[in-house]
Amino acid sequence: MAAVLALLATGTVLMLRGDDSTHSDGKSTATSPTPTPTPTTINGREFLNVDPPKPKSADDYIQTPGTWLTSRVFATGAEEAVTGYNPTTGKRVWTVPLSGGLCGASRTVTSAGLVAVVFHATKDSDKSYCTRFAVIDVNKGVKVWEKPITDESVTDGLGLNVAISDTVAAAGWPEGSAAYHTSTGAPAWTAPADGCTQEEHLGGAELLTLSYCKTSAGMKFRIGERDPGTGKATWRYEVPKAKGAWLVSSEPLVLGLLQNDKGLDADQLVTVSDEGKVQSTISLGDDYVAGCGEAGGCGATVVSGDTAYLGSDPHSFTAGNRITAFDLTTGKAIRSFSASDDSTLVPVRADGKALVAAQEAEPSAPARVLRLDPATGKSTTLMEMPNELSLNSSLHSLIRTDAKEPMVYDNGRFFLHTGSGYFASDTTPDPMTLAFTTW
């Protein structure tokens, strides 16, 4: 749920977006991703292909958010369920059924293999609200606990944000916030912090909260941590001025800010020190795509230590883009990498001090996974998908800076999943889930 202010002629409306590698959620989407080895081949072989759900009517809206990888399983959201696959063979190994369709899911998985999901109370999503919250152990394929969200202002999940840490699992939406102890499901809080109206949460080892709060100077964005026992917030930073704010990373604390009245994505990255002081500011303007918005966090931004990676906006369907590494201590660009084949490069995750990036497919050019090293300027191809017209079309859609689900690459395997966008009228839909391997 990112907080984004839209100033309209009729008044002021706060729009919030739904809840990754210190890729916009503090820690990695994979549990302790292994260092990328030198592949024995770069030829990617498809080993998982899952058809999308089939809407029954034009009004039927199905969501399947959730993409998680551990050393034991690759799991995704599915139609009224969460499903786990063997990450080596692609074979489905378990399904956890839910009472209704998914509304939101955490972008992270904890070190113990736990994820959080919010879903409808019944299978009739038109008549039931997103009032069920559960933590699922994706390593075991079991529901750890399920609890109700008693505040029905969550309604159909518009602007819903879901996050999980080792201690707290939380949801936030435009008029509320709810959190539970990760291990037991005991309530931690049932409303936003005192004086605040709505919240976004960032997962990782600890849960970080961005709140929209009333102050003597007006409404402000505040970033802090809430005590799981009392619900009280300890504020780490207050944004002095912004139209919108997103949590990008917790270690270090990096925020995406919107200063432009007409924008919807962050046009600034701000690094905040442990003392609560601005350490650096990176002006993005409309040249770079941070990916802050409905997908949650800033999905097209990867933060690794003191470096942030962002892809540029080519401002043209026929031009390629570049990925630039920025020093978060100074705010200055370190090095840029340009895409080949006039395609688009999208940051995926950190690999040590380097970056793993995906290059979208073009009609006659295959998708690729690359390792970009800002220290040497070297670009290494880790994987190249088969160069097939229909597959290129699907991968052109799945590899995007505005993708709502994170792409996951680890140890020679590449996973892609779509969280929404299924239509009854679509006679040749793209797969919901695809995975490739070089092994």
Q: What's the rounded Cα separation, in Å, for the pair 414 and 417?
A: 10
Q: Identify the band that residue 39 occupies on the pLDDT scale cut at 50, 70 and 90.
A: low
Residues 367-423: pLDDT tens digits? 999 999 999 999 999 999 999 999 999 999 899 888 889 999 998 999 999 998 888
Q: What is the pLDDT of residue 382?
A: 96
Q: What's the rounded Cα separation, in Å, for the pair 260 and 298?
A: 17
Q: Over 50: is that where the pLDDT of 27 sits?
A: no
**Residue 289 phi, psi dihedral angles, 5° rounding:** -110, 110
Cβ-count burial of 437 within 10 angstroms (0-12 exposed, 13-18 middle, 19+ buried)? buried
Q: What is the pLDDT of residue 29?
A: 42
Residues 323-380: pLDDT tens digits? 999 999 999 999 999 998 789 999 999 998 899 999 999 998 999 999 999 999 999 9
* Residues 6+ away with beta carbon under 8 Å from 86: 73, 74, 92, 93
Mean pLDDT, the chain, as a whole number?
Answer: 89
Q: What's the rounded Cα separation, in Å, for the pair 176 and 293?
A: 19
The DSSP output letter for 178 is: E
3-state secondary structure of 403: coil
Of 382, 304, 374, 436, whose CA–CA distance to 37 is shortest?
Answer: 382
Q: What is the pLDDT of residue 94?
A: 98
Q: Which two tokens stand for residue 288?
A: 């770079």
Residues 81-99: pLDDT tens digits? 999 999 999 999 999 999 9
Q: Over 60: is that where the pLDDT of 19 sits?
A: no
Q: What is the pLDDT of residue 294?
A: 62
Q: Identify the band that residue 318 occupies on the pLDDT scale cut at 50, 70 and 90.
A: confident
Q: Which two tokens stand for residue 356?
A: 């793993």
Alpha-carbon distances, residue 2 vs 19, 149, 200 (angstroms) = 8, 20, 6
The residue-averaged pLDDT of 133-148 equals 98
Q: Where are the alpha helices (DSSP H) in 36-91?
A: none
Q: Identify the band that residue 18 occupies on the pLDDT scale cut at 50, 70 and 90.
A: very low
Strands 176-181 and 187-189: antiparallel
- Other CB atoms closer than 10 Å to residue 340's CB: what's the count? 15
∠ CA 267-18-107, nearest 5°, is 95
Q: What's the rounded Cα separation, in Å, for the pair 32 and 34?
A: 6
Alpha-carbon distances, residue 228 vs 55, 247, 357 (angstroms) = 40, 20, 36
CA atoms within 13 A on the CB side of 142: 4
Q: Over 70: is that where the pLDDT of 35 sits?
A: no
Evaluate whether 7 touches 85 at the Cβ level (below 8 Å): no
Q: Over 50: is that where the pLDDT of 202 sits?
A: yes
3-state secondary structure of 124: coil
Sign of the CA dihedral with 14 first, then 18, 23, and 27 last:
positive
**Residue 72 phi, psi dihedral angles, 5° rounding:** -110, -20
The DSSP output letter for 365 is: B
* Residues 6+ away with beta carbon under 8 Å from 277: none
